[in-house]
């Protein structure tokens, strides 16, 4: 059975994580440090400063590849940035490419910086 996924902000690590939650306790041991049966499937690192969030690196664990988790992670992180009123600087090529493919998120990037990021 496929796990369920959710995106959380791990501000102490300056990154968003996408977590895989097994649907039953027997399906996965999970991350013992977290203790909730969840396993980190990927992350998007960021730097937060003065109302701006700069995404610098995104990575999905190869064991979770091909499931569209990068897109779920990008959407979750950008939706959170929007809800917090943060301006987005997509230095990470994956986040930048995702915004290009989803232009409804381009408004998060300040107008003077859009050309620089190809938006």
Over residues 36-89, the pLDDT tens digits come to: 678 999 999 999 999 999 999 999 999 999 999 999 999 999 999 999 999 999
Architecture of domain 4-117: 3-Layer(aba) Sandwich (3.40)
Question: Long-range CB contacts (< 8 A, 24+ apart) of 25-33?
Answer: 27/1, 27/3, 28/3
* Percent of residues, the chain, with pLDDT higher than 70: 87
pLDDT over threshold 90, residue 21: no
**Domain edges within the chain:** 4-117
Q: Residues 92-105: what's their mean pLDDT?
A: 97
List of residues 6+ apart from 47 with CB closer than 8 A: 14, 53, 54, 56
Q: Residues 14-19: what's their mean pLDDT?
A: 97
Q: Cα 89 to chain center, whole Å?
A: 14
d(CA 6, CA 22): 12
């Amino acid at each position: 059975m496929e796990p369920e996924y959710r995106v959380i902000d791990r501000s102490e690590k300056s990154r968003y994580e996408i977590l895989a939650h097994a649907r039953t306790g027997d399906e996965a041991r999970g991350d013992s440090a977290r203790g909730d049966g969840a396993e980190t499937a990927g992350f998007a690192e960021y730097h937060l400063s003065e109302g701006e969030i700069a995404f610098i690196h995104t990575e999905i664990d190869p064991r979770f590849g091909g499931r569209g988790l990068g897109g779920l992670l990008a959407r979750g992180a950008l939706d959170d940035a929007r809800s917090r009123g943060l301006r987005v600087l997509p230095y990470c090529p994956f986040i930048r490419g995702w915004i290009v493919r989803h232009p409804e998120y381009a408004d998060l990037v300040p107008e003077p910086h859009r050309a620089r990021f190809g938006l």
